[in-house]
């Protein structure tokens, strides 16, 4: 219904963003509303319940479509595959309330300037604003553009000059008042949901409504015991769920509560500096940052001074980050894109802590408020917890389909029941009751609860291993993982870096390696000065803090760090500057110290950092430190040694982390703030290489070997050097010794030439000088095309990945099929890569230490954070043990939980079908099972089995195949169908045979032998007729069917309880085995006991011992046949592989289609070739947005 809309009635909200939605306009229709009200009354509340479950139906029933401009209700639909609907009322904000304070009129100059969204949203002359609130974000109606737009942020199109000019001196009180009213308070307000609200929401779940229907029906049939049991179980389940939700709500409320009560200093245009509660902040306010240890209550862009910030809350890594002011540029380019550097280096994010703020010469550090409330970085993080991405797992969709099949079967049973009972002349109320009974038998009310028990037990086992889960439904998804991406530093390798040595260089090239193991200090020179000053370390309470790499480098110089005082009087050096001085024991250092004047901080996008320093009593210098390739590109070519590439390879191939350093002298007459980064970072002199050791964690290699042996692909995504990554991949076993690595390099489009891509085989050679160490890598240009003999892996950088995505989209899936090493990847590229793997139908896991990995952790099917920082809330799983051992544990538990879910589903379906078949057979005789018979089957048998069957732990070994991911897979369906057929056959045989026995008579209520009866009479006193029995149920058919059905439920539980290869063997589940043994013993005791009181209580008739033996034989035959079929056919993996080959079945997963295509392509991989983007098959001709089989038909 929502698809046929004119443009004015339909639009996109948050276009291109992760939370993109379609929005449709509707107007409430009084006639429709009246009809809905009448329908609600006449349907006894069923209609409003259905409309509550289906928000779109609610809108369609009560409203009529209209333009968004006229709408008083909007219908929202997510643009993802789930197409989730929700609706919101359009609200009005009245600016007339401000009239009393400063006389706001329609022609007031503050609101006539329609350059800003806020002013465009104000409807004149009545001064009111239309708005909606979606997922905690407020959207206002832009009257000029005719669409809803997000409010609570500064406009993205603003240039840096505009920000400085418009907001550099603060807002007036009037502007603040208007913005406060329209944007709302600057609070991340997570209310603690009242228990009654949680209770109502939980109780209105369709599952509990069905249980309520079942319980009412059972009470009407006097089936009180099981009804009470279900009520008790439901109350416990609801109470636990509500308690869990309440705890999460309280925890999240506590996490953000402190954010809302911070006092800040705000500079007003006329009012000057004043103290203000942070909830009154609005976008555009000017914050004054003074003092240390300040929590940021909003996102703000720094326009003056510098700050050192702890961004642990966002990145998961508590390393101080230096923030620099936004430079004032003349261009009208938006401030975020005005420089190639990452704009985030100017932004102070909400929730982070300002450790130190340092003002410029003119005064304290100042920042303009960018975003408030839920628009901020912390707000976005909290919203991702409040509104998690829905899981697209086929198991849950299949479960709904299966339930609908059961409903269909129940409908057939209802029709059959109606026919039988109407023809028998039964009273109408009895006919209706019996017909409704069939629904509760065919669709077991305990089914959804039984499905979650396996996940609950798996979650508990994971918790014992120190793995915590905030999204339990994802445990089942872990069982389907077939590709796991790993960050390198801190995940595969150790966190700490050790400074191994430096390789200085001069005009003659690289000198000998200077090792720090000897304990000697590095001689004075530009390289020593660079190591002492080119860093972002800070002095906090007498302790040096900062990046571990910077810390190791600075400690190696043995210099000291101080802060210059007010009386510090050296030309060009401001007060409170960072001053580095040689220690007292150092000799032959011609300078008193080095003052750091200005920093261009490190960013992963730029892969470098630069500082401007002043030698005390000497020159002004600039030092650069960063990725060797990047630093060399800024140096004078003649200063970079000719052996640069080979020297770099020597160290990177041994897994060392290599950092290059460079410097240049600056002219003294320049003021540091006037120097642009481009001017400073040019014509540098290359100084040498810094070699740091980054060792593999002990657990890395065995874990990767375990995953590879289980045919789970492993991929490395790192921000480090490409060749270092290749070596770590080899050392860790991700790439084995006999496998080849093909390096993919690209060139971007330039003015004259198009983008190109080249393929080179990376070959290992022993290096004589370093023979005692590992191999090093050489790019072998002239190679024979023998790469197809063994398997191969592609290695590429983030830059190449970007170029391939843009210009070689048709090659991307081919490359990803064997892409194993991705280096120099930015956080955004990591997320994109995970998404591209998902497009190939891989189930992707991502394991990272939290730093820079948040986006990828959220994007993956299963994100595992090794960080315990607050950033781990972005990840469904967090491991307390900071190594990758948690990955195989998680996959094993996921597989066990998935198989457990299938076992329970099969069992619950069979149990309901056994009861269904039995009851329908008895309905033929207008008979049924009695309440005590139902109670024994439902409570004593099924409930106990449901609780204990799921206790099996995960199998300790990962096998090289995954469990089925779908309920409607042929083995699972056949297993259920075969067992239903066997049960049906056994019940029909028992039903017909009992009627053909010589002792069978409709009038006789016992067929025991005289000897049996005499024993019974001696052992029990006579019982009055109507005590504890109901003759309407008692018949030989009833007795036979009940024993067959009850014991068959136990047999089915044993057959369906799977052990190896995904779960521990069944015999190790001691509680389950004990329950089955006791249940079977009790059933056999009732069958052979001959206790009239017990028989009367269960509405059973005494049968001859021979017939009881026949019942046991029928059950034994059923068990043998079912067990044989399950083991020989259903669980026979080899048989299914043969059947697949015979029928020519091929997986429809995209990665399987590409594997088959590449296996037939003799020209792949194209070694020693260079392709351009304008060549056929390499360019944009084949879009990768939907890499379907058809796009590659010609090559197949």
Contacts of 492 (CB under 8 A, 6+ apart): 486, 696, 697, 700, 716, 728, 732, 884
Q: What is the layout of strands, in order, in the sheet containing 137-142? A: 91-94, 128-134, 137-142, 147-150
3-state DSSP assignment of residue 12 = strand
Name which of 294, 321, 963, 987 is nearest 604 in CA terms.
321
Q: How far is CA 944 from CA 212, 949, 1053, in A?
A: 22, 8, 11
Residue 1018 neighbours by CB under 8 Å, 6+ apart = none
Cα separation, 492 vs 733, in Å, equals 11
> Which residues touch 1129 (CB under 8 Å, ≥6 apart)?
974, 978, 1135
CB 655 within 8 A of CB 727: yes
List, in sequence order, every beta strand (DSSP E) within 781-823: 792-797, 819-823
Residue 545, C-beta contacts closer than 8 angstroms, at least 6 positions apart: 320, 355, 537, 538, 539
Cβ 839 vs Cβ 1187: under 8 Å: yes
DSSP code of residue 751: S
Bond from prior residue into 1138 cis (ω within 30 degrees of 0): no
Instruction: Measure the CA–CA gap between 1125 and 969, rounded to whole angstroms.
Output: 17
Nearest to 90 by CA among 107, 106, 74, 111: 74
The residue among 341, 262, 360, 352 whose CA lies nearest residue 303 is 360
CB 880 within 8 A of CB 468: yes
Sheet strands (E) in 431-497:
467-469, 483-486
Q: Put the strands of the sheet holding 272-277 in their side by side order.
A: 272-277, 263-268, 286-289, 365-371, 299-304, 347-348
| Contact of 938 with 230, CB cutoff 8 Å | no
How many other β-carbons are positioned within 10 Å of the β-carbon of residue 869? 19
User: Strand, coil or helix: what is 1162?
Assistant: coil
What is the tally of helices (H) and strands (E) in the chain? 39, 43
User: In the sheet that 353-358 helps form, which strands lie side by side, from edge to edge?
Assistant: 294-295, 353-358, 306-310, 320-323
CA–CA separation, 210 and 1152 (whole Å): 42
Active site residue 487: yes
Cα 1125 off chain centre by: 39
Say how many C-beta atoms besides its own lie within 10 A of residue 1176's C-beta.
7
487, 720, 849, 1099: which one is catalytic? 487
Kind plus residue range of the DSSP H or E element containing 1031: none
Checking DSSP bridges between strand 656-666 and strand 792-797, what pairing results, if any?
unpaired
CB-CB contact of 144 with 242 (8 Å) = no
With beta carbons less than 8 A apart as the criterion, state whether 10 and 39 touch. no
Q: What's the rounded Cα separation, in Å, for the pair 284 and 397?
A: 47
- What phi, psi does 543 have (nearest 5°)? -110, 135
Going from the C-alpha of 463 to that of each of 239, 466, 900, 1050, 1190, the distances in angstroms are 22, 5, 18, 32, 45
Give the number of other CB atoms < 10 A from CB of residue 1049. Answer: 21
821 with 794: CB under 8 angstroms?
yes
Active site residues: 487
């Amino acid at each position: 219904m929502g698809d046929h809309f004119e443009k004015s009635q339909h639009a996109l909200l948050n276009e291109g963003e992760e939370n993109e939605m379609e929005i449709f306009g509707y107007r409430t229709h009084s006639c429709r509303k009246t009809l809905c009200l009448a329908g609600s009354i006449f349907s006894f509340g069923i209609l409003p319940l259905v409309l509550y479950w289906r928000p779109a139906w609610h809108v369609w029933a009560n409203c009529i479509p209209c333009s968004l401009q006229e709408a008083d209700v909007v219908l929202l639909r997510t643009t993802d595959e789930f197409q989730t609907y929700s609706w919101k009322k359009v609200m009005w904000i009245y600016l007339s309330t401000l009239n009393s304070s400063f006389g706001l009129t329609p022609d007031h100059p503050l609101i006539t300037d329609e350059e800003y969204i806020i002013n465009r949203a104000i409807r004149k002359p009545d001064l009111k604003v239309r708005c909606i609130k979606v997922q905690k974000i407020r959207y206002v109606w832009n009257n000029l553009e005719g669409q809803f737009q997000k409010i609570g942020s500064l406009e993205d199109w603003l240039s840096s000059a505009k920000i400085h000019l418009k907001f550099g001196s603060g807002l007036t009180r009037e502007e603040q008042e208007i913005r406060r009213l329209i944007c709302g308070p600057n609070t991340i307000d997570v209310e603690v949901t009242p228990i009654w609200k949680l209770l109502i929401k939980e109780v209105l779940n369709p599952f509990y409504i069905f249980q309520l229907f079942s319980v009412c029906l059972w009470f009407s049939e006097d089936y009180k015991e099981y009804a009470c049991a279900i009520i008790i179980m439901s109350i416990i389940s609801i109470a636990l769920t509500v308690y869990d939700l309440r705890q999460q709500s309280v925890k999240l409320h506590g996490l953000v509560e402190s954010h809302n009560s911070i006092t800040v200093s705000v500079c007003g245009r006329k009012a000057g500096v004043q103290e203000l509660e942070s909830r009154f902040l609005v976008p555009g306010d000017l914050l004054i940052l003074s003092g240390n240890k300040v929590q940021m209550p909003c996102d703000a862009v720094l326009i003056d001074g510098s700050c050192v910030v702890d961004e642990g809350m966002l990145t998961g890594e508590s390393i101080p980050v230096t923030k620099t002011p936004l430079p004032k540029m003349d261009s009208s380019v938006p401030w975020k894109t005005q420089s190639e550097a990452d704009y985030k280096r100017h932004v102070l994010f909400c929730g982070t802590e300002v450790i130190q703020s340092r003002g410029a010469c003119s005064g304290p550090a100042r920042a303009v408020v960018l975003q408030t409330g839920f628009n901020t970085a912390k707000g976005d993080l909290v919203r991702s917890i409040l509104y998690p991405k829905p899981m697209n797992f086929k198991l849950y969709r299949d479960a709904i389909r299966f339930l609908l099949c059961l409903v269909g079967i129940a409908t057939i049973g209802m029709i059959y029941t109606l026919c039988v009972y109407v023809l028998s002349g039964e009273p109408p109320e009895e006919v209706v009751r019996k017909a409704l009974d069939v629904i509760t038998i065919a669709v077991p009310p305990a089914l959804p609860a039984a499905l979650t028990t396996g996940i609950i037990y798996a979650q508990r086992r994971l918790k014992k291993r120190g793995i915590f889960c905030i999204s339990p439904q994802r445990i089942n998804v872990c069982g389907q993982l077939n590709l796991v991406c790993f960050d390198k530093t801190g995940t595969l390798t150790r966190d700490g870096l050790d400074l191994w040595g430096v390789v200085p260089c001069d005009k003659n090239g690289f000198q000998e390696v200077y090792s720090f193991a000897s304990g000697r200090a590095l001689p004075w020179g530009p390289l020593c000065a660079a190591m002492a000053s080119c860093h972002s370390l800070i002095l906090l309470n007498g302790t040096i803090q900062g990046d571990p790499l910077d810390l190791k480098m600075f400690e190696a110089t043995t210099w000291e760090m101080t802060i210059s005082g007010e009386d510090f009087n050296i030309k060009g050096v401001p007060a409170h500057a960072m001053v580095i001085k040689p220690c007292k024991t150092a000799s032959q250092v011609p300078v008193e110290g080095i003052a750091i004047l200005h920093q261009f901080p490190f960013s992963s996008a730029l892969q470098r950092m630069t500082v401007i320093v002043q030698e005390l009593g000497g020159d002004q210098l600039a030092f650069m430190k960063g990725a060797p390739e990047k630093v060399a590109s800024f140096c004078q070519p003649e200063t970079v040694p000719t052996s640069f590439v080979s020297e770099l390879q020597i160290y990177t191939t041994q897994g060392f982390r290599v950092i290059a350093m460079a410097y240049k002298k600056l002219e003294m007459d320049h003021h540091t703030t006037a120097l642009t980064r481009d001017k400073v970072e040019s014509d540098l002199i290359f100084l040498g290489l810094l070699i740091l050791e980054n060792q593999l964690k002990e657990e890395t290699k065995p874990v990767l070997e375990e995953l590879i042996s289980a045919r789970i692909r492993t991929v490395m995504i790192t921000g480090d050097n490409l060749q270092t990554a290749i070596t770590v991949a080899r050392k860790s076993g991700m790439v084995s010794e006999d496998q080849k690595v093909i390096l993919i390099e690209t060139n971007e489009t330039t003015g004259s030439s198009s983008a190109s891509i080249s393929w080179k085989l990376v070959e290992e050679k022993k290096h004589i000088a370093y023979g005692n160490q590992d191999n090093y890598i050489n790019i072998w240009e002239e190679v024979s095309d023998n790469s197809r003999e063994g398997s191969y892996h592609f290695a590429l950088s983030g830059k190449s990945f970007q170029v391939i995505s843009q210009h070689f989209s048709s090659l991307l899936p081919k490359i990803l099929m064997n892409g194993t090493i991705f280096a120099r990847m930015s956080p955004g590229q990591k997320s994109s890569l995970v998404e591209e793997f998902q497009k190939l139908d891989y189930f992707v896991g991502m394991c990272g230490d939290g730093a820079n990995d948040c986006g990828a952790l959220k994007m993956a099917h299963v994100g595992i954070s090794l960080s315990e920082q607050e950033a781990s809330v972005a990840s469904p799983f967090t491991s307390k043990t900071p190594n990758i051992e948690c990955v195989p544990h998680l996959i094993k538990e996921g597989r066990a939980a998935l198989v457990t879910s299938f076992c329970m589903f099969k069992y619950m379906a069979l149990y309901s079908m056994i009861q269904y078949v039995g009851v329908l057979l008895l309905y033929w005789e207008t008979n049924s099972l009695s309440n005590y018979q139902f109670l024994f089957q439902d409570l004593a048998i099924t409930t106990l089995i449901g609780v204990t069957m799921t206790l099996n732990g995960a199998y300790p070994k990962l096998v090289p195949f995954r469990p089925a991911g779908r309920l409607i897979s042929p083995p699972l369906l056949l297993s259920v169908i075969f067992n239903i057929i066997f049960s049906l056959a056994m019940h029909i045989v028992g039903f017909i045979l009992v009627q053909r026995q010589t002792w069978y008579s409709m009038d006789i209520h016992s067929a025991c032998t005289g000897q049996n009866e005499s024993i019974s009479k001696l052992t029990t006193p006579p019982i009055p007729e109507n005590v504890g029995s109901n003759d309407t149920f008692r018949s030989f058919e009833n007795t036979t069917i009940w024993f067959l059905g009850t014991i068959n439920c136990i047999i089915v539980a044993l057959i369906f309880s799977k052990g190896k290869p995904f779960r521990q063997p069944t015999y190790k589940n001691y509680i389950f085995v004990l329950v089955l043994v006791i249940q079977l013993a009790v059933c056999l005791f009732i069958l052979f006991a001959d206790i009239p009181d017990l028989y009367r209580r269960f509405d059973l008739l005494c049968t001859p011992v021979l017939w009881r033996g026949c019942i046991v034989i029928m059950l034994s035959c059923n068990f043998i046949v079912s067990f044989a079929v399950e083991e020989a056919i259903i669980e026979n993996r080899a048989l299914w592989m043969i059947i697949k080959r015979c029928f020519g079945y091929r997986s429809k997963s995209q990665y399987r289609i590409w594997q088959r295509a590449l296996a037939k392509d003799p020209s792949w991989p194209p070694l020693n070739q260079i392709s351009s983007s304008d060549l056929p098959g390499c360019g944009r001709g084949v879009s990768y947005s939907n890499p379907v089989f058809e796009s590659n038909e010609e090559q197949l």
